[in-house]
Amino acid sequence: MARAHNTTADPALDAAALLRRIGFFGLFVVLPVLAQVARRAAVILGPIAVILLVIASAIDGRQRPVRPGLAALVRSPAFLAGLLVLAWSALSVAWTPFPSQAVERLLNVLATVGLTVLAYFALPDRMRSANLYLLPLGMTAAAIVAILLGLFGDTLLQGAPDDDNALDRGLVLLALLVWPAVAWLRSRRRDIEALAVAVLVAVALVVSPSSTQVLALAMGAFAFAATTLSPAWGVRLTAAFTAGILALAPILPFIGRPILAAVLGPVAPSVLSLKAWQKVVTTEPVRLVTGHGFETALRGRLVGLVPTNAPTTAFFEFWYELGIVGAFAAAFALYTSIRYAGRTAPVLVPGVVAAFATAYTIAGIGVGLTVMWWLTSLAITVLVFVAIARGQFRTRRPKAGLLRRFREGPAEA
């Protein structure tokens, strides 16, 4: 009589595993694809996927212990510097000309940061490879959709509701998430697949009408190559360059304007934009210390407080709204974050540094300081890197035992 197998199934654990798989599928596959056609995909689907991951961890308890992790965050210089930026932003509401709008935007930013920290603790301490392989799959699908839209967008979207800037935002997310996908595949020794995903994403960006993402991806590729050749040098160079530019941003218009004027002419839009920045710096030097207050750069353009042709970059907005306190704190947080990235799993370091360089380039070209879809995209990128870092617990692959058993011969009965 056959012996019955003693199998016990826990419905709660099965439900948690299903919720986690749905959450990662939404975050790694559905979100990158839908972001190419829906401009609010990141803002809507990102939090939903994170909530599913939090619920799954609450059910099965596979998350990293909260108390040690929270203690490590509190001791982190980058985290403390980030808290200083948020605290100074909250304090600047006292002197901003738009207090109600500033409070509303600040609450949105705090909600995004809080949800990101919650997801950081909710991610399992050891990630399953099956969940992480969804990332390159999603990037491949999203890149194919972006290529089709770039080549045949007018035909494919004929009769569809007009959704301005949807593809542009989707390509930004594509340029950011390609680096964790490449890093994960390289950590699994799938270099050919990693190269294929990177090339496919590059093609998707090239066929698009915007050049911002192409330049950002190129800067990320340069940082990736430099960090691959010399990890320590690549990390130090990226950290010093990004933090230094942000800290010394008010000097940029005085250096860049004469150069651009000689190349493009004195009435080129970029030259006039730097001229407007020069005027802001020279007419209100005291505001370089305190800033004009949170949410002033965006709202001020509508009422004439800020020149309409002033830069829309994060550099200008940091200094204009938060002054030297906020800008220096953000620069320090950026520097220490990149240096800390150099101490993660060595195989992931080039991808992390490349993502920093890509995001920095996008922010420096023309993405505002507190645009919610941009902050959500950054939060998603951070969570994806945390996930693949927790999938590196296996130091090496187990060797197949078939050849060994063949050499040893059949086992004795």
Supply the pLDDT for residue 155.
Answer: 67
Q: What is the pLDDT of residues 43-55, one digit of tens each?
A: 899 999 999 999 9
Q: What is the pLDDT of residues 124-164, one digit of tens each?
A: 888 888 899 999 999 999 999 999 998 876 666 655 554 55
DSSP 335-375: HHHHHHHTTS-GGGHHHHHHHHHHHHHHHHHT--SS-HHHH
Q: By C-alpha distance, which of 107, 148, 178 is closest to 375?
A: 107
- Non-local (6+) Cβ contacts of 274 within 8 A are 252, 253, 256, 257, 260, 311
Supply the pLDDT for residue 3.
Answer: 46
Supply the pLDDT for residue 158.
Answer: 56
Residues 351 and 389 sit within 8 Å (Cβ to Cβ): no
Residues of the chain with confidence (pLDDT) below 70: 1-9, 153-164, 368-369, 393-413
Task: Output the CA–CA distances (angstroms, integers) from residue 65 to 72, 103, 162, 261, 394, in the order listed.
Answer: 11, 33, 46, 56, 20
3-class secondary-structure state, position 63: strand
Supply the pLDDT for residue 360.
Answer: 93
* Distance separating alpha carbons of residues 184 and 129, to the nearest angstrom: 10
Question: If 0-12 CB within 10 Å is exposed, 13-18 middle and 19+ buried, where does residue 190 land?
Answer: middle
Residue 146 carries which side chain, given as an amino acid letter? A
- Non-local (6+) Cβ contacts of 234 within 8 A are 223, 226, 227, 228, 349, 350, 353
Residue 216 carries which side chain, given as an amino acid letter? A
Q: What is the pLDDT of residues 365-378, one digit of tens each?
A: 877 667 888 999 99
Extended strands (E) in 26-142: none
Supply the pLDDT for residue 17.
Answer: 87
Where exactly are the structural domains of the chain?
A: 14-150+164-389
Burial pattern 236-253, b for ≥16 Cβ within 10 A else e, equals: bbbbeebbebbbebbebb
Q: What is the DSSP letter of 410?
A: S
Angle between helices 66-75 and 77-92 (to 10 degrees): 70
Q: What is the DSSP letter of 211?
A: S
Nearest-5° angle of CA 288, CA 291, CA 292?
130
